[in-house]
Amino acid sequence: MNSQQQQISSSALLTRPLWQQHLRLLLVLAGSVLTLLILMVVFSRMDNNEFVLTETPVPLEVASTVQPDSVESTGTSSKPLNKMSITLREGETIATLFNRLKIDHSELHSMITAHPRNKILTHIRAGDRIQVVYDDQHSVHELSYRPNLTTQLTIRRAVEGFDSNLTSVQLDHRQAYTHAVIKNSLFASGKRQQIAGHLLKELVEIFQWDIDFAKNIRSGDSFSILYDESYLDGQKVGTGHIAAAEFTNQGRTYRAIRFIDPKGHVDFYTPNGMSMKKQFTRTPVRFTRISSTFSLGRWHPILHRLRRHQGVDYAAPSGTPIKSTANGQVVFKGRKGGYGNVMIIQHGRQYSTLYGHMKAFAKGLNVGSRVQQGQLIGYVGMSGLATGPHLHYEFLINGVHRDPLTVKLPIGSPVPYAYKNQFRAHVNRMLAHMQTHQQVEYASAGQKKDDLNA
C-alpha cells in the first residue's frame, strides 16, 4: 500500500462516530458491570437467609479407628445443627469423646451438674452409644444416652443451663419356637441347635421333678420350647423366659405352661393346672455317678459284710455343694457314727431327709434353722466310713426309709380356683401356638427328606 492510500484510510477512520471507535472497550465495561450486579444480588439474598451454607461436620479425626456411625446436618433459621451418633471405643470416656468433638469441657460439666441423674454420663464405657446435637460453634444442644435397653436419658439446652429427663423405651416382645432331638447330651444337642444356654437351664429346672437329667436322659429324647424374644427398633436385643415347653423322655411326654396370675405370681403348671414343682427335688447334688443304690442287702466295702443300704450314694468331687431338696427345719447337725458329718432336715410332719459323709456344713445353719428348697446346706466329702468323696442321701416318710430314686414325690400347689378359667384360656393359646410351630417343623422336615430322596 502506498502513502496516498494510507492517508485515505486514516482520514476515513477519524470520520467514524466515537462509539464505533471504542466498541470493544464498551463491551468489556458492560460485562464487568453485569457481573458486579449479579454478585450484589447473591450477597443480598444470603443476608436475608434465603439460603444457608452449612459446614460438613469434621469426621472425628479421619485417621482415628473410631468413626461416627452417622452424620446428619439440619439447619434452623439462625444456625446449622449437626447430629452425630457415636459408639465409644476401648478406653474412651465421655470427656475424651468431647475432646474429639472439640466441645469445651465446661459444656460437659454444666450437663452433669444440672441434675443428679445426669451423673450417669460419668459411667459411660466402651461399646456404649450416644447421640450429640451441636452447632457450628461446638455448643451442645441435645445429648441422648441409653444406660440400658429400656431407659433413655435426654439432656437439652435450656434458657439457663440444661434440662434432662428419663423416659422408658418400650420393647417389642415376640414368641419364638425351637425343637431339638438329643443325640449325646441335652446341652450339646441344644448348642448344636443354637439354643441359648439359659433356656436349657430353665428347661431342666422346669422338668427336674419328673425327669432325672443326670441318669435317665437317652439318645432320641426330644424337646420343644416356646419362648420370648425382645426387639428394639426392629433388632433382636434379648432372649427371655420359656412360655411353654414339651419334653419327651424314654417315650413319655411331659408338658409345662408358664402362667402369671393377676397378683403377679409366676409358676409353671401342667395343662391340667397342677404345679410342675413338687415339694421335693429328686436329687440334692450335681453328681458324677450313682455309686450305690437303695438296697436291703449290700456288701459294705469297708466293714466287709452285708448291710442294709437305706439311701443313695452320689459320687461327686470333694467340696461339691449340697442343697436341701425341700423347705424344712434342721433337726440334727453333727457326727453320726459311720455316716460322719450328718445333717437331718424335717419337712412338715411326714417327711425327713438325711445327708451324710459331708466335708463341711454351710455357715449359719444350726439345729432349729429354717431352710428353703435349693438352699446350700453343706459340701460333699468322705467323713465317716467312706472309700471316696460322695453324698449319702436318705428319704423317710413317717420314719420309714424309701428309695429316693423311685419314691412318689408329693405334688405342689395347683392353679388357684379363682384363676381356673383364665388359666384354661391361656393354656389353649399356648398349646395352639406349639401345635402350629410343630406342624410347620414336621412339614419342613418332610420336605427336606423328599428333596434328599429326589
Encode pLDDT of 206-226 as tens digits.
988 788 787 788 999 999 999
Would you say residue 50 has pLDDT above 50?
Answer: no
- Note the pLDDT of residue 74: 42
- What's residue 53's pLDDT? 29
Of the chain, the percentage scoring pLDDT greater than 90 comes to: 37
The amino acid that residue 331 corresponds to is V
User: Is 410 part of a structural domain of the chain?
Assistant: no
Residue 377 CA to its chain's centroid (Å): 31
Cell numbers describing residue 199: 433356656
- pLDDT of 92 over the 90 cut: no
Q: Residue 342 has what pLDDT?
A: 95
Between 445 and 347, where is the model more confident?
347
DSSP-assigned states of every residue in 4-65:
HHHHHHHHHHHTS-HHHHTHHHHHHHHHHHHHHHHHHHHHHHHHTTSS---PPPP-S-TTSS
Examine the domain organization and report whether 200 and 263 are in the same domain: yes
Q: Does residue 420 fall inside a structural domain?
A: yes
Domain CATH for 125: 3.10.450.350
**Residue that wins the pLDDT comparison between 13 and 80:** 80
Same domain as 397, residue 431 = no
**What is the pLDDT, as a whole number, of residue 366?**
95
For residue 184, being part of any structural domain is answered with yes
Look at residues 237, 26, 40 and name the one whose alpha carbon lies nearest to residue 129: 237
Statement: residue 8 has pLDDT above 90: no
> What would you report as the CA-atom Rg of the chain, rounded to the nearest whole angstrom?
40
Give percent of the chain with pLDDT exceeding 70: 77
- Tell whether 19 is covered by a domain: no
Residues 272 and 335 in one domain: no
Which tens digit of pLDDT belongs to each residue from 56-78?
333 333 322 333 444 444 444 35
| CATH code (residue 294) | 2.70.70.10
pLDDT at residue 203 greater than cutoff 50? yes
What digits encode the pLDDT tens for the residues 426-440? 999 999 999 999 888
Question: How far apart (Å, rounded) are the C-alpha atoms in residues 421 and 424?
Answer: 5
Residue 156 inside a domain? The answer is yes
Asked whether residue 60 is assigned to any structural domain, the reply reads no
Q: Domain check: are 393 and 425 in the same one?
A: no
Give me the domain span that covers residue 293. Answer: 289-402
- pLDDT digits over 374-384, tens only? 999 999 999 98
Q: What is the mean pLDDT of the chain?
A: 81
pLDDT, position 232: 82
Q: Which has the higher per-residue pLDDT, 193 or 278?
A: 193
SS3 168: strand
Burial class of residue 266 in the structure, from the number of CB atoms within 10 Å of its CB (0-12 exposed, 13-18 middle, 19+ buried):
exposed
- Domain tally, the chain: 3
Residues 306 and 388 in one domain: yes
What letter represents residue 174's amino acid? R
Q: Please indicate, yes or no, whether residues 176 and 160 belong to a single structural domain of this protein.
A: no
Mean pLDDT calculated for residue range 299-320: 75
Query: Residues 164, 183: one domain?
Result: no
For residue 85, the surrounding DSSP H or E stretch is strand 80-87
pLDDT digits (tens, 9 = 90+) for 235-275: 888 899 999 999 999 999 999 999 999 999 999 999 999 99
